[in-house]
Amino acid sequence: MLKCQRAAELISLQHDRPLSLWECWQLRLHLLVCSPCQRYQKQLDTISLAMHHVRQEQAGDKQ
């Protein structure tokens, strides 16, 4: 079973590159049983989405 520290690394890493099939499988299994890591993933997804919106707004302001 994946430890939370490694799960957190994979959660962060998936925002930079696609996870391998094995990494994805391990992370999904871990997230099924670990609510703190589920919460971390949701938080990171929210931050990533907010940053995406900020970049879009900044790009729109430059035009």
The whole-angstrom distance between residue 62's C-alpha and the CA centroid of its chain comes to 29
* CA–CA distance, 44 with 33 (Å, rounded to integer): 18
Burial class of 30 by CB neighbour count within 10 A (0 to 12, 13 to 18, 19+): buried
**Confidence (pTM):** 0.83
* CA–CA distance, 63 with 48 (Å, rounded to integer): 23
Annotated domain spans of the chain: 4-62
DSSP 2: -
The pLDDT value recorded for residue 40 is: 98
What is the tens place of the pLDDT at every residue in 16-63? 999 999 999 999 999 999 999 999 999 999 999 999 889 888 887 776
Q: How large is the greatest C-alpha to C-alpha distance in the chain, in angstroms? A: 49
